Structure 1
């Protein structure tokens, strides 16, 4: 079992509001590089979407559940068919996006007992909590050539990571890192 965190990121480390849906003053920075910059399997998840479990926070799930269900390209079909676990204290009905269920119990305990790979996309609070607990095995960070100066960052404290690989993906760089 591995926990993989996949995030859009600016050069100055901001993960907040890459698509502008959050209404922040600096939001939309990833989409300024064109729709192809964020389309498809940019995180190279491939078959992990078929064998693993997506772990999403309420806000990310609500956004994704409006965007993905009607799409039929290869990546969208994989994403739609994936098993989805939603961490939320308030959300009860997750029928808007197939194969979704609400996480019952403690986030960390549920992740630790999961037998397959867990993939966190967006959902910064979840990624941060799992990182603090030493449960993240891999970060896949799609770094865009934008500097926004302010906003929520993935890493709240110093962290040492080992670089595993880099790949140019359109305007961005996909860096894969493992915690030391």
Structure 2
């Protein structure tokens, strides 16, 4: 059975919304290496509509992205959306109905793990329903005070399985997910 791994960029105060502006100045080769290893060990991407549209607008025509860009374009991509009518990016598949059932089927297939990048609403859906097996948080040393957060009031049954501090001050926390507390 494949694992479903959710990876999110969050601020120290838990905001996950629009990471590009607050990520500035915190890039490091170690983060790049982690993201590369994460992508290359995965067998598929699971994305929400907004993340999919952003990626589909960039990766197919991006130049000088090397093996990372090639991998992004080759991997099977599953897009959860109730509003999209079609998906055009190479090897993309639309999930519109019975989302829990379809994701459960994907997890039961042979192949590498399923990776969720960003996709905030989808990540919340997966966590709330116990569909995610691992959560990787890249916590940036930034406090915004307000914005969309990953977690609501309920706990997610997190068990820390790995962590790493990067030279830029970002900390990666990897959690196995269990039953809700």
After superposing the two structures, state which structure 1 stretch, 170-179 or 80-89, moved more.
170-179
Whether 1:77 aligns to 2:70 is yes
Aligned to 1:151: 147
Correspondence for 2:46 among 42, 48, 55: 55
Partner SS state of residue 135, structure 1: coil
Contact 1:58 1:87 in 2 (8 A): yes
Pairwise CA RMSD of aligned residues?
Answer: 2.2
Contact 1:166 1:173 in 2 (8 A): yes
Across the two proteins, how many residue pairs are aligned to each other?
169
Whether 1:107 aligns to 2:99 is yes
* Matching of residues 138-177 of structure 1 within 5 Å: 138-159=134-155, 160-171=157-168, 172-177=170-175
Between Structure 1 and Structure 2, the one with more helix by share is 2
Partner SS state of residue 77, structure 2: strand
Partners of 1:164 and 1:158 lie apart in 2 by: 21
User: Aligned in 2, Cα 1:113/1:124: closer, same or farther, shift over 3 Å?
Assistant: same
Contact 1:161 1:178 in 2 (8 A): yes
Contact 1:30 1:38 in 2 (8 A): no
Correspondence for 1:67 among 44, 47, 58: 58
Partners of 2:146 and 2:8 lie apart in 1 by: 17
Residue 118 of structure 1 deviates from its aligned partner by 2.1
User: Aligned in 2, Cα 1:108/1:139: closer, same or farther, shift over 3 Å?
Assistant: same
Aligned to 1:23: none
* TM-score between the two structures when normalised by the length of structure 2: 0.83
Correspondence for 1:91 among 68, 84, 89: 84
Residue 57 of structure 1 deviates from its aligned partner by 0.8
Q: Which sections of structure 2, spanning at least 5 residues, go unmatched?
A: none
After superposing the two structures, state which structure 1 stretch, 115-124 or 59-68, moved more.
115-124
